[in-house]
Amino acid sequence: MAKGKTVAFFCQECGYESAKWLGQCPSCKAWNTLVEEPVASAKTARSAPTKRFRNTAEPCRLSEITAGEEERISTGLAELDRVLGGGIVPGSLILVGGDPGIGKSTLLLQICHTLADGRKVIYISGEESLKQIKLRADRLGSFPKELLLMCETSLESIEAAIEKEKPSIVIIDSIQTMYKEEVSSAPGSVSQVRESTGALMQIAKGLGVSVFIVGHVTKEGVVAGPRVLEHMVDTVLYFEGDRYAAYRILRAVKNRFGSTNEIGVFEMREKGLIEVKNPSEYMLNGKPQGASGSVVTCSMEGSRPILLEVQALVCRTNFGMPRRTAAGTDYNRVNLLMAVLEKRAGVRLSDCDAYVNIAGGMKMNEPSLDLGIVMALVSSYRDKAVDEETIVFGEVGLSGEVRGVSMTKQRILEAKKLGFRKCILPKTSMDGLENVKGISLLGVAGVREAIALL
């Protein structure tokens, strides 16, 4: 940025900064998202990251640092702890993103239940009044008396309150409502969100306070304006799910203190969010009996296998152009698998419409679903149901080969636990499975071999 400049154009989607207006953001390729915003002057911006919170930094030897077992704070919700990598790390900054109304405020208020027990927690809302929070809290059950609530949008006041109270956990309900006085643009704008998060980061690191930040997501599926936020914070969690379905999935997109593949599954009830301890059972609920085109497969989400039902409907096309849709999985992947079936297994799908759906509304993209999708398509095409007690998984390559997948044993054990008796899996993943009893394993090397088992 040139010296003395007071305005710049910011992309509201990703925070890209440009000296002049552009129709398309060069960084995230979104159209019409650049808006003019005043720039925090270099002086205020530099002095702003409140020095009083900073630790004096001096180089020290790695060997002299005693970390020990990282102490973690449990949230009282095992599903959330898992996604966080075992609990909250003191002094970390956690962003919880999601569509409006998905349940972010509910989740964070709910964890105060356990967190505020013997610890100082401040829940700061810029969206709801104290009365509204109280009403919600009443629905969620009884809370420890010590829980502190605050309705505030000015970061300066929040900083002062945190300094005075010295809490161990702070929850900021929606970063889009917060503002810093020295930044002249409106709350929710890129500069405000960036500066506010910067200030909160100073607090988190300087005072060792864990800070949860709620961020709303725009229609495009990124936290409004601030994708900038994603690389400032330690952990990014997204809360997703169909607003109209009861279950919600919490997914870690970034985690400096744990794996990012983990998911947590919840169900929204009248009395708040309930953990779903066995998502496989939940996802297979309502599976049709003896219907063609329905196959159970297994996807690994982090360290946890989840069984799901893949459904396919294949019928003759009425128009020249066959119609294909994919819900809950990658459309292009479905097209590719249909091409493999046509070319490598001789199944004539080119004049058929095909609809593929992951039942239950979950979004899954793991390659091990490939074989399940293939089997569902062929089962529907031939109108022949797959045996009820069979589970299928494996990655399909372009030559029609079935490739190995990771963590085979965990998948098989999960299937066995839910009463499956037969498993069709990649031949190359069969090593070391000799001692798995009670479920018959059929290794296949190619698509042709797999569909012959139908």
Q: Which stretch binds Mg ion (CB under 5 A): 47-55, 98-106, 266-274, 336-344?
A: 98-106
Instruction: Please tell me the distance from the alpha carbon of residue 309 to that of residue 386, in angstroms, as a whole number.
Output: 12
Site for Mg ion contains 105 (CB under 5 A): yes
b (16+ CB within 10 A) / e for 224-235: bbbbbbbebbbb
Work out whether the CA dihedral 180, 222, 232, 234 comes out positive or negative. Answer: positive
Q: Which is nearer to ligand TYD, 36 or 220 (CB)?
A: 220
User: To the nearest whole angstrom, how small is the minimum distance from the Cβ of residue 206 to ligand TYD?
Assistant: 28
User: To the nearest whole angstrom, how small is the minimum distance from the Cβ of residue 94 to ligand TYD?
Assistant: 15
Beta-carbon contacts of 193 under 8 Å, excluding residues fewer than 6 positions away, are: 175, 176, 178, 224, 225, 226, 228, 229
Site for Mg ion contains 106 (CB under 5 A): no
Q: Which is nearer to Mg ion, 26 or 221 (CB)?
A: 221
What's the distance, CA 149 to chain centroid?
28
Q: Which residue type occupies 160?
A: A
Find tokens 């459904």 and name the residue: 311
Q: Which of ligand TYD, Mg ion, none interacts with 251 (beta carbon under 5 to 8 A by kind)? A: none
Q: Which of ligand TYD, Mg ion, none interacts with 26 (beta carbon under 5 to 8 A by kind)? A: none
Distances (CA, A) of 384 to 61, 295, 378, 454: 67, 11, 8, 8
Per CB under 6 A, residues contacting ligand TYD are 98, 100-106, 136, 139, 268, 270-272
Site for Mg ion contains 33 (CB under 5 A): no
Q: Which of ligand TYD, Mg ion, none interacts with 180 (beta carbon under 5 to 8 A by kind)? A: none
Instruction: Please tell me the distance from the alpha carbon of residue 414 to that of residue 73, in angstroms, as a whole number.
Output: 29
Q: Which residue type occupies 246?
A: A
Q: For residue 12, which of 274, 211, 189 has the smallest C-alpha distance?
A: 189
3-class state of residue 259 by DSSP:
coil
User: To the nearest whole angstrom, how small is the minimum distance from the Cβ of residue 104 to Mg ion?
Assistant: 5
User: To the nearest whole angstrom, how small is the minimum distance from the Cβ of residue 136 to ligand TYD?
Assistant: 5
User: To the nearest whole angstrom, how small is the minimum distance from the Cβ of residue 99 to ligand TYD?
Assistant: 7
Q: Which of Mg ion, ligand TYD, none interacts with 351 (beta carbon under 5 to 8 A by kind)? A: none
User: To the nearest whole angstrom, how small is the minimum distance from the Cβ of residue 212 to ligand TYD?
Assistant: 12
Instruction: Please tell me the distance from the alpha carbon of residue 75 to that of residue 88, in angstroms, as a whole number.
Output: 7
User: To the nearest whole angstrom, how small is the minimum distance from the Cβ of residue 217 to Mg ion?
Assistant: 12
Which burial class, exposed, middle or buried, applies to 109 when counting CB atoms under 10 A from its CB (0-12, 13-18, 19+)?
buried
User: To the nearest whole angstrom, how small is the minimum distance from the Cβ of residue 266 to ligand TYD?
Assistant: 11
Q: Which is nearer to ligand TYD, 139 or 277 (CB)?
A: 139
Q: Which stretch binds Mg ion (CB under 5 A): 37-45, 53-61, 105-113, 371-379?
A: 105-113
Q: Which of ligand TYD, Mg ion, none interacts with 100 (beta carbon under 5 to 8 A by kind)? A: ligand TYD
Q: Which is nearer to ligand TYD, 11 or 107 (CB)?
A: 107
User: To the nearest whole angstrom, how small is the minimum distance from the Cβ of residue 195 to Mg ion?
Assistant: 22
Q: Which tokens is 14 given? A: 């990703």
Q: Which is nearer to ligand TYD, 101 or 208 (CB)?
A: 101
Q: Which of ligand TYD, Mg ion, none interacts with 384 (beta carbon under 5 to 8 A by kind)? A: none
Number of helices (H) and strands (E) in the chain: give both, helices first.
12, 21
Facing residues of 18 across strands?
A: 9
| # residues contacting Mg ion (CB under 5 A) | 1
Strands 263-269 and 272-275 turn out to be: antiparallel
The answer to whether residues 396 and 340 touch, using CB atoms and an 8 Å cutoff, is: yes
Q: Which is nearer to ligand TYD, 104 or 324 (CB)?
A: 104
Can you give the binding site for Mg ion, defined by CB under 5 A?
105
